[in-house]
Structure 1
Amino acid sequence: MSALPERKEQDLFYVWIVASVSGFNSEIVTYPLDLVKTRLQVQGETAKSGKEALGEGPQRGFVQTTVGVVREEGFFKLWKGMSAAWLRQFLYSGVRIVSYKYIKNKLIAVNPPEKGSQFPIWKSAMCGATAGGFAQWIASPADLVKVQLMMEGKRQMMGLPPRVNGIMDAFIKTWNSGGVRALWKGAVPCVQRAALVNLGDLTAYDSTKRALLKHTSLPDALLVHFLASSVAGFFAALLGTPADVIKTRVMNQPFDEKGSGILYKNSLECLKKTVGEEGFAALYKGFLPIYLRMAPWSVTFWITFEQAMVMLGQDTW
């Protein structure tokens, strides 16, 4: 067995930039899965509500939805809304990583974990959930716009008028619908989802990597990063899928002239209606694309992050 390497302070500016770039790379690789997952999660809403605004069509599975987007809208429509996704990653990935490091090293631990030590999992979980929720609150306007743009291709195929035409138009129309508060529509379920996802991702990566370095002879290199990020992707999907379903439905629902949701008043009502009318399994709609997205997303993110930090002369995670 090998001892953990000595941990040292990282420049948080480098951490932010590297985390943002790592998030960009991960989005490019996995964005089509995110779009398909979003389409799957809003199936069933129009039938039960009588509203047409969500663009409901025949019930489809993962493969049929993917093939349908390519055939009906075009291959590159799988990346529709990418500009908003990149903006979100600049805010979200940067803030969540920097916040996690700051909370862990400055607020909870007197010093960064010393050589041979391992940060308690429950403390890591608290750091991950807090950092993820805070980062999502900052990035919620970009996430709202991203979800709206993702659904435009389906609406156009159904002959419905577009709600938004591009990222700036989406921001302007959202602002005009209710001012600055409108930009944070659906922020609560977004924050809840992000807290759970990062409880899984950050906690699993941190704890798995530390355990591998402490209890095996593996060096702090690519194999350890791959194994730890694979575990992180699984737990992020497992914990985050129910909240992701609620978040998507709340954010994508139509709003009245006062800016209030027509289908759901809040995430709790959405949870009750979803389970009551569609069953508990509805909370895991889109789990396959979520996992298939989060697994490579996590692997791409963490490997990019670790390698970039080394190239910049910074310590690894």
Structure 2
Amino acid sequence: MPVDVIEFGLGGAAAACAVLFTNPLEVVKTRFQLQGELKALGTYQRHYRNVFHAFYTIGRYDGLLALQAGLPPAIIYQILQNGTRLGTYQSLIDMGLTKNKAGQTSLPKTMLAAGVAGYAGAFVSSPCTLESLALCCPSHIKTQMQPQSREVIAVGHQHTHSGWRQGLKRIYVEGGAKGFWRGVNAQTMRNGIGSVAQLTSFSRTKDFVTKTELFRPGSIFIPIIASMVAGAANVVVMTPLDVISTRMYNQGIDERGKGLYYRGVWDCATKIWRKEGLVGFYKGWSASWFRLAPQTVLSLSFWDLGRKLYYRNFDKNQST
């Protein structure tokens, strides 16, 4: 099997493993982002005060299984989106496109490669491609299932999906095929810009820590530290776009199939700014940190470990 195909598989497998641990944090993050939608701070009831209170509240009222709401589509999404993103990024590195003429890692070229990889991952969510249905559907239905809760702690528009496949059918019945791609522009921007922040900071930090020789070569602590830095960069850059994406995906629709609150990405951003201010774009930032940081650390660490194990066996097979 060609090595570049393996890279895509390793990236997808790493992200899928990570989401098993981080999906509960994704549920909490989504609810925070919908809490007080289009309302000024202090004018709405806060069902979730912080991450730990949110875990307790969801477990108490909705049950512990609610913390894994939307897990199947979340796994599918991670395999497709991050498999493409990480595979593309590593392929560009292997082709030497992140190096300067002296053979050293170039920051601008690394950022460009990360951006290209991010948009490659988001490409499958473009309305111009057949693959868009495979990526946008799981992301869309995942976002709608995660806020579903008992009325006493409900936030945002409440969908009543009994399962993710039934939910996909309902989205199609209510909004037609275009209903699957509502919010795709925000998702594409989120993936592209976030990828630049995440993968660039990961590569640069990993190189820096390796050169300090604080750890032995190949130590698991090197990718873990690099992943933590990448996670922090990811939260700062991606949270506003993530809020917009969540709002766009979760909003209800009227009898004409139009969104109840937002006409598009810029309309959503404008309304959040006017009604909620800057803080509205960073709602749930702590939940985003608790989710994105472990997701970044686990996925990139699993990715790094998987690549080492694969190429170690690959080299052994080549030498025999």
The TM-score, its normalising length taken from structure 1, stands at 0.84
CA RMSD of aligned residues (A): 2.8
Q: Is the 8 A contact 1:133 1:191 kept in 2?
A: yes
Relative to structure 1, is the Cα distance of residues 292 and 97 closer, same or farther in structure 2, using a 3 angstrom cutoff? same
Q: Does 1:212 align with 2:209?
A: yes
Residue 85 of structure 1: which of 49, 74, 93 is its match?
A: 74
Aligned partners of 2:208, 2:103: CA distance in 1, in Å?
10
After superposition, the C-alpha distances for 1:127-151 in whole angstroms (9 at most, x for unaligned) are: 2223223313422221111001112
Aligned partners of 2:158, 2:262: CA distance in 1, in Å?
23
2:318 equivalent in structure 1: none
Identity %, equivalent residues = 24
Aligned partners of 2:230, 2:244: CA distance in 1, in Å?
22
Q: Which range moves more in the overlay, 135-144 or 112-121?
A: 112-121
The TM-score, its normalising length taken from structure 2, stands at 0.83
1:31 equivalent in structure 2: 23
Aligned partners of 2:54, 2:63: CA distance in 1, in Å?
13
Q: Is the 8 A contact 2:59 2:67 kept in 1?
A: yes
Relative to structure 1, is the Cα distance of residues 78 and 144 closer, same or farther in structure 2, using a 3 angstrom cutoff? same
1:52 equivalent in structure 2: none
After superposition, the C-alpha distances for 1:176-220 in whole angstroms (9 at most, x for unaligned) are: 333332211110111111122211211111121123334546413
Q: Is the 8 A contact 1:84 1:167 kept in 2?
A: yes
1:41 equivalent in structure 2: 33
1:73 equivalent in structure 2: 62
Relative to structure 1, is the Cα distance of residues 86 and 223 closer, same or farther in structure 2, using a 3 angstrom cutoff? same
After superposition, the C-alpha distances for 1:31-86 in whole angstroms (9 at most, x for unaligned) are: 111111100111112768xxxxxxx9644322332211000011121001101101
Residue type at the aligned position of 2:48: R
Q: Does 1:251 align with 2:249?
A: yes
1:236 equivalent in structure 2: 234
Aligned partners of 2:246, 2:229: CA distance in 1, in Å?
25
Residue 98 of structure 1: which of 77, 87, 90 is its match?
A: 87
After superposition, the C-alpha distances for 1:231-256 in whole angstroms (9 at most, x for unaligned) are: 11110111111111111111111112
1:199 equivalent in structure 2: 196
Aligned partners of 1:211, 1:161: CA distance in 2, in Å?
46
1:53 equivalent in structure 2: none
Q: Is the 8 A contact 2:28 2:54 kept in 1?
A: yes
Q: Is the 8 A contact 1:96 1:131 kept in 2?
A: yes
Residue 299 of structure 1: which of 297, 300, 307 is its match?
A: 297
Aligned partners of 1:161, 1:19: CA distance in 2, in Å?
33
Q: Does 1:153 align with 2:145?
A: no
Count of residues in correspondence between the two structures: 296
- Please state how far the C-alpha of 1:115 moved relative to its aligned partner: 12
1:12 equivalent in structure 2: 4
2:131 equivalent in structure 1: none
2:49 equivalent in structure 1: 61
Aligned partners of 1:273, 1:261: CA distance in 2, in Å?
14
Aligned partners of 1:157, 1:44: CA distance in 2, in Å?
12
Relative to structure 1, is the Cα distance of residues 117 and 12 closer, same or farther in structure 2, using a 3 angstrom cutoff? same
Residue 272 of structure 1: which of 270, 273, 278 is its match?
A: 270
Q: Is the 8 A contact 2:39 2:276 kept in 1?
A: no
Residue type at the aligned position of 1:23: A
SS of the residue corresponding to residue 146 of structure 2 reads helix
Relative to structure 1, is the Cα distance of residues 57 and 85 closer, same or farther in structure 2, using a 3 angstrom cutoff? farther
Aligned partners of 2:307, 2:22: CA distance in 1, in Å?
22
Residue 134 of structure 1: which of 120, 130, 145 is its match?
A: 120
Aligned partners of 2:302, 2:94: CA distance in 1, in Å?
22
Q: Is the 8 A contact 2:232 2:293 kept in 1?
A: yes
- Please state how far the C-alpha of 1:11 moved relative to its aligned partner: 1.1
SS of the residue corresponding to residue 153 of structure 1 reads coil
Residue type at the aligned position of 1:180: A
Residue type at the aligned position of 1:278: E
Relative to structure 1, is the Cα distance of residues 154 and 185 closer, same or farther in structure 2, using a 3 angstrom cutoff? farther
Aligned partners of 1:84, 1:147: CA distance in 2, in Å?
10
Q: Which range moves more in the overlay, 34-43 or 291-300?
A: 291-300
Relative to structure 1, is the Cα distance of residues 59 and 73 closer, same or farther in structure 2, using a 3 angstrom cutoff? closer
Residue type at the aligned position of 2:261: L
- Please state how far the C-alpha of 1:104 moved relative to its aligned partner: 4.8
1:173 equivalent in structure 2: 170
For structure 2, list consecutive stretches of 5 or more residues without a partner in the other structure.
Answer: 125-134, 315-320
